[in-house]
Structure formats: C-alpha cells, structure tokens
A and B are shown apart, each in its own frame.
Chain A
C-alpha cells in the first residue's frame, strides 16, 4: 500500500491523477434547508465522489414571500416595512436604498441633514452586517469565540438603532421624501461611544483570526474566484472586491454625499475565502472612519424635503390645525406619495453587495412593477461553479465567506 502525501493547501484543488486514484461510486446528499451551516433555509443538493464534491445544485426559494407582488399592490410608503425583511441583518440600509430609488423616480433632492443621517444609518447597518458576517464566518471555520465578541458589540449597535427608530431589527426608518423622525438628543454622542467600544473588538478579532495558522489553513486558497469570473457571475460587494475588482458604488456613483468623506475601499488580490475575510475586516474600520466624520460634520437644517408637499406628509400639529395640510396628509396616506410615470433603476452599495430597485411607474402612489435586485441572490448563483472540487468540510467555510441572507435572496 502506498501512502499519498497531500499538503493542506492542495486539498481544495487536487490534481486530476489524484482524482483518478480515489475515484469511486458517486453519492448524492442534501445539505439543508435546515442546517446550521447554511445560515437560513438554503438547500444544497451535492454530488459527492468520496469526500470531494463533484456537483452542487443550490435550491433557494424556501423563504419566498412574494415581496415584488406585494409591492405592486400597495403604496410606496407602505412597502418600507417589507424592505426591512430583505437583508434583516442590516435592515436600515434597505430602507434607505428603497427611499433613494423612489426619490430618484420623483426627481427629489434631499436636504443635507437628511442625507447625513441616512448615511450614518447606512454605515451602522454595514457594521451590523459585517459583525455578524465575520462572527459567523469564524464559527463556520471552528472559531466559536469570535462570534461571542462580535455579537456582544453588535447588540450595542442595535441599542443605537432602538434609540433612533424605536425598533431594533425592523426599523422602517425612512419615508419617501425624508425620515420617520429627526435624531434624538444626545444620540450622536452615543454613536461615538459605541464606535470607541467597537474598535478594540475589531482589533481583538483581527488578532484572534487574521494571522491564525488554523484559520489560514482553512481559508487560504479556498474557493478562488477570478476577476473575470466574478464580474461574469454578477458578484457584488465584498465578494466582488475580494476578487480584485475595484467597484464600490460609494466611490463610483456617489449617493448620499459619500464623495464628501474620506475612506478607502479595500481590494483583495487572490479572490479566495481569506481575501473575503480581509475585505470585510477592513470595511468595518473604514465604516468607523466614515461614521466619525459624519458625526463631526452633521449639518443642521430640515431632515425632510420641505418642498415635496405631495410626497412627504406635513407635521402632525399642522395636520390637526390647518385644512390644507389635513387634505395633503389624507391624500398621502390613502393614495400614496404621488409619483410621475417613468422607469428608474437605482442601486446602492449594501453591506452584502449591490441592492437595486427597478421601478416601473404609471403615475400615482403605487408602482406598476418593482423588481428587487438582491445581492445575496446573485452572490449565491456562483455556488455551482465554486463548490465542486472542494471537500465537504469546506462547504461551510465557502458559504460563510459569501455572507448571504436568505430573506433577501428569496424575497
């Protein structure tokens, strides 16, 4: 009997002759839809040759709720709570992206303060999402401790959201043409405090895993996605940037005034699981950097579009005292904010990737058709290409490195 030596780094992509030697009968197994490694209700039909995956067929749709159909049957403002349920790890970013898309349709420009508050929310959402992504990724690689650290600090971020919006997860904070309310007093100070608490956690996580030999062995060279492949398959967000494609809509197509703040966009070189980790770690540091600048520069002024009388409802005291405002409020609530007819496609850089809304309006307060381009859906579509050739214990690592949310994938 001969013993074949296989170095750890080679396990991911074994040579063809090694494959020949180990060849046997193939076996089909199901992973999921309820499996801790699939982070939700993702089911994967996997064909195995021994320990090596030869074919992978992801089955999605277990969380399909028909959001797009629902959107066609309600006003724009009524749909905002549904956007919370897309990427429910960082829900407030979905609110903002949706509001921006509809406002683009209306041709509305938001006042500076409103934009700054929204931007602050976006970056907090990015931190929330990446803290879970990084923590769960560590857990998938067998490093349970990191998850505890990141979840503890993530809770403080949700406290911030609670102070701001009154809810921890289902924030529904934006309105078409503004926000639900202005930021409460002292909130910006709390944000800074949490940022000060957050920084050491990121450094600690960094020390625990980034240069950890075991973590390296599990992630370096695993699930390599080349630049061309990533673009062709429609990957977005940290997954795309880890493959070395410098596309970040915050820089390329600035919205919310991202061009006024200093931050760097981390880019990977190898496109493997380890690069995806590094990109997310660095993005968190950059988010903290942005948040500090926003808090410092937070402009005064109105936090909703004052001139958009047919879109943003007037304040409550005016509604109860003035006839005209009462009628406006009634019209906006019953008929929805009035939009012109037209088509619009708006994308923003969500924590998981690019979230896009394609809205077809025939006028009035209800969209004729709304398509949600969700990043997780597109990111998952690379699995049939990425997983084959790897061994079964690597599947959780691959899934963890993609950082997806099924609520968004299935809509």
Chain B
C-alpha cells in the first residue's frame, strides 16, 4: 500500500499528499481531476468507485472539496482523492459519470445537499430533497432545525393554505456546537426561553385544535 504511494507522487507532479488516518490520500487540482481518475482507473487498477462526497470547509478558501474513495477489486486497496471546487457560492466540479456510472447518483446527492454543480453530468437533479427545494441542507450555515419552506407545489399551497413546518428538532440533546470552548460545545436546547419551571406558552393553533378539558382528561 504505502510502497506505491511515492511512485504515484512522482508520476503525477501536480498531486500533493493529504493527511489521512488510514488509506493513501492525495490532493488533486480541479483541472486535472478527470485525467488523474482516468489514470487510476485504467492503469492503476482502481476500478471501483466506493463513494463520492463533498466537504464544506465553511470559512476556508476553497470552501468546498469533492472526495473520491476508490477501491481496487483486484489488489484490494483503497485510495482517496480530494479536489477543491471552483467558485465560492456556486462551486463547480467536473463530473465523473463518464468514468463510473456509480458517480451519477452520488453527484446528484452532492448537488442536492451541497449545491455543487457537476459539469458534464447528464441529468443533474435533486435526489433526496424534492425538486424546487430552495436550500442545500448539508452546508454548514443551514440550521439543524431546518427552514420553513412552501409546499413542493404552489397549487397545493394555495388550496390547502398550509406549508411544511420545520422538523421538531430544536431543543433536547441535539444541538451541540463543534467549535469553541468546552462550555460552548456542551449540548443545549436551541430555544431556552422555556423549561420545566416556566411552561411553554401555547400557540393559538394548538389551543384551537384540542379543547383544554379534553387534553386534561387524557
């Protein structure tokens, strides 16, 4: 595994080694990525695309990186290739669908959740969220509790007069910051305006839905 690593670095001078806790990993510039992946696939035997994903390095430049985890079905080795995306708010990366059909859905997922445009992808649509959803939820600025959005269809919104409420995830042990002092990292409720002592103020909706005496009986 590690014996092949220097030779790859010599062979492709544009690469640089990347920190990794397990498999050999390389940083590859965006304009060479397809060329390098093609070489890995055809001459180094890394024929299996395990995984394609992205990382959002919120306040760094370049902000988005695309990660390829490859496997060789003959030598049983892994390799990781990482490439930065062009562009800050609208990151762009070259599509690997021409090399692996497996990249199709993975790239659609990265587009859906991170908003990365894959150049050359035949059918770049959202896959996990619905068409027309306005956000990219795995970006770091997107809140865990979600954002309120209209129903998928405008027609439906008009007729029912309702919209999708954010998932009830605020509060409880879910919210924990990843950086800062230990005190900041402690899991805490998002909305701390109420607790066991001060009861939550009831919204008019909830009161109308079930009469007070009925609720008490339950």
Q: Tell me the A residues contacting B by CB distance below 8 Å.
A: 60-61, 64, 66, 68-70, 72-75, 78, 104-105, 107, 229, 231-234, 245, 247, 252-253, 334-335, 340, 342-347, 354, 356, 358, 360, 362, 364-366, 368-369, 371, 373, 377-378, 380-382, 385, 410-411
Contact = CB atoms under 8 A, between A and B. Distances in A.
B50 A234 contact: yes
A98 to B, nearest CB: 15
A61 B127 contact: yes
Contact of A343 (B19, B50, B102, B167): B19
Interface in B93-113: 100-102, 104-105, 109, 113
A237 B167 CA distance: 34
Question: Taking each of A234, A364, A365, which has the highest tally of chain B beta carbons within 10 Å of its own beta carbon?
Answer: A234
A58 to B, nearest CB: 9
Contacts of B105: 377-378, 380-381
B178 A381 contact: no
Contacts of A68: 113, 138
Contacts of B144: 69-70, 73
A165 to B, nearest CB: 21
Interface in B29-86: 47-51, 53, 55-56, 67, 69, 71, 73, 76, 78, 80
Question: Taking each of B47, B71, B78, B100, which has the highest tally of chain A beta carbons within 10 Å of its own beta carbon?
Answer: B71
A234 B178 contact: no
Interface residues of B, number: 50
Contacts of B138: 68-69
30 contacts: A61-B129, A61-B130, A68-B138, A70-B174, A73-B144, A73-B174, A73-B178, A74-B176, A229-B101, A231-B47, A231-B48, A233-B100, A233-B101, A234-B50, A234-B100, A234-B102, A335-B185, A343-B19, A343-B20, A343-B21, A343-B25, A345-B69, A345-B80, A356-B69, A358-B51, A364-B178, A377-B109, A378-B105, A381-B105, A411-B128
A188 to B, nearest CB: 32
Query: Majority SS of interface residues in chain A?
Result: mixed
Given A69-B144, A234-B48, A344 B22 contact: yes
Contacts, number: 128
Interface of B: 18-23, 25, 47-51, 53, 55-56, 67, 69, 71, 73, 76, 78, 80, 100-102, 104-105, 109, 113, 126-130, 137-138, 142, 144, 167, 169, 173-176, 178-179, 182, 185-187
